[in-house]
Structure formats: structure tokens, C-alpha cells
Amino acid sequence: MWRYITKRILVAIPVLIGISIVAFFLIRLVPGDTITALLGANYNPEQAAVLRTEYGLDRPLVVQYFIWITNVFKGDLGQSFFTNQGVLTSIIERLPVTFELMIMSFLYSVFIAIPLGALASLKKNSLLDYTASFLGLLGVSIPNFWLGTIFILVFSLFLGWFPSGGFVSFFENPILNLRYMAMPSIALGASVGAVVMRMTRSSMLEVLKQDYIEMARAKGVTQKMLIISHALKNALIPVITVLGIQMGYLLGGSVIIEKIFSLPGVGRLTLQSITNRDYILMQGCILFVAFGFVTINLLVDIIYAVINPQIRY
């Protein structure tokens, strides 16, 4: 087991190096450079030269990369050109919002999608199955930014049940926090829930056909026991992989959802960095999001190896 985990971590290292190279050099592809963007209309060559020297931008790119990556290892992602705040500090400040959004979307998906998928498979070709399949198809097709917009239109503007945007910390006012987070998390989690529901349904159908299920049935195992202990437990193994992948997509989707619902999370910070052409902050956000994505995938692989006895080390 430990050998597998070590191997998996070692495989992630070149990927992380690749990510850092992409994050660093992608920003360098921007026409002009960060100083041109920073000075904007006030651009003058003398001041630009001074700033380039100050930020080390006059040195060879490879040298710049190594300076940057050494600082990253020390936990220093640089400073925002616009706010002068440390990039890591800005990200950490915003992280709880994105994290809560992801966790809530994840919980909605798990607690609604898995039971719905399992029920649909047990009542194959029933009205429930057709409804679940339709919802699944709709869920994977409906763009989350439109779903979010419709939620605001119906539940905020017409019915007035939920606020259309903003954020209050959970520790400050839990009830208000949940009211603020309800619509964004459902809008973000809908597609993930749909994927998970479809996967649970097809995986359950596959498992229900297996001989050991017939055997358990023949031995007189109760229906409830059969479904929970024998069928669902095994059917959930591929679902966990899908859930892991989808967690990463929640991270990507949060950029749009945070913008629509004015949530002060990492996604909106990334968008702000793009709008302001704040390249140091943008670079930090890219590195952070990709790092988060790789970490989630790594954890999923490890969990998968732990729960799936078929995986050999």
C-alpha cells in the first residue's frame, strides 16, 4: 500500500513541475509585459526600466523562473501589483469561501445523487427511473452560469427567498451564511450531481447483474441488506473516482459561480487578476488552482486504492 502511495506521489512531482512551468511561462506570453500593464497610460521607458530591474524582469527567463520557484517553495508567491498584498495571503483569505462552496456542492451531489441513482437502478424503466435519467441529462447539459442566473431570477427577484449575491462567514452568522450559499452551491453542484447520479445508476445496474448478488439472494439475504451491503457498496467504487474528478471541476466552475453570486472566493480573485491584468496574482492563482486539482486527484487515487480490493500494489 505504502509503495503504491509513494509511487503515486512520485508520479505527481513531474506534473507539478510542469504546472509551475506553464503558470510561469504562460504569463510571459502576454503581449508587452507586466510592467507595461502596471504602468498603463503612465508608461515611460525610464520608470519601466527601473521597475523591471526591481522585479528582476530584465534577467533571462530561465533565471527568473528559478528565482520564482525558489520563492514559491518558501511560501512566497509574490505581491499583487495592484493591492500590494501578498498573493498567498490573498488566496488564503479567499479560500474558505471557495472551500465552503465546493463542500456544499459536493454534499448536495452525494446526498441527492447517490440515493436517486440507486433508486433509479432498482426501479428500472419506472417513472422514477425516467425522471432521474431526464434530470441527469438535463444536469449535465445545463450550463451552471445559466442555472445560477435562473435561480437569481426566480428565487431572489421574483420570490425573494434568497439573497441574489454576497457573503457572510459561517462563523459570523451560520443561518445567513447558508442562505447566501444555498443557490450558488446548488447551481455549481447540479452537473456534478447529474454525473454522479448517472454513474451510480449504471454502476448499480452492472453490479445487480453479478452472480454474487444472485447468490446472496438465493441464500435469503434481505432486500435491504442486499442493496446496501452487497450492491451499493460495490457499485460505489467507480462512483468515488467520478466524484474525485468532479471535485476538480467544482474548483474550475467556482470561477463563474463566484462571479454571478458575488462571492469573495479564489475564483473571483482569479477573474479580478485577469481583469486588472495583475499577472503576479494571476500566476499565483493558476499555480494554486492546478495544485489543488492535482492534490484532489492524488487523494482520490489513494482513497480508491484503499477501498478497492481489486487494485494490486
Site residues, other proteins (CB under 8 A):
14-15, 18-19, 21-22, 26-27, 29-31, 124, 133, 137-138, 140-143, 145-146, 149-150, 152-153, 157, 198, 201-202, 205-206, 248-249, 251-253, 255-256, 259-260, 270-271, 274, 282, 286, 289-290, 293-294, 297
Tell me which residue has cell 494490486.
312
- The SS3 of residue 111 is helix
Answer yes or no: are the C-beta atoms of 244 and 259 closer than 8 Å: no
Answer yes or no: are the C-beta atoms of 197 and 110 closer than 8 Å: no
Closest CA relative to residue 235, chosen from 102, 136, 141, 120: 120
Min dist. Cβ of residue 220 to other proteins (A)? 27
Compute the 3-state secondary structure of the chain and give helix, strand, coil in percent, each to the nearest 5. 80, 0, 20
Min dist. Cβ of residue 63 to other proteins (A)? 22
Grid cell, residue 301, equals 487515487
Min dist. Cβ of residue 66 to other proteins (A)? 19
Grid cell, residue 71, equals 520563492
Query: Is the Cβ of residue 76 or residue 206 nearer to other proteins in the bound state?
Result: 206
DSSP class of 123? T
Query: Is the Cβ of residue 156 or residue 177 nearer to other proteins in the bound state?
Result: 156
Min dist. Cβ of residue 306 to other proteins (A)? 22
Grid cell, residue 240, equals 468515488
Query: Is the Cβ of residue 86 or residue 267 nearer to other proteins in the bound state?
Result: 267
Query: Is the Cβ of residue 184 or residue 248 nearer to other proteins in the bound state?
Result: 248
Min dist. Cβ of residue 11 to other proteins (A)? 8
Query: Is the Cβ of residue 4 or residue 170 nearer to other proteins in the bound state?
Result: 4
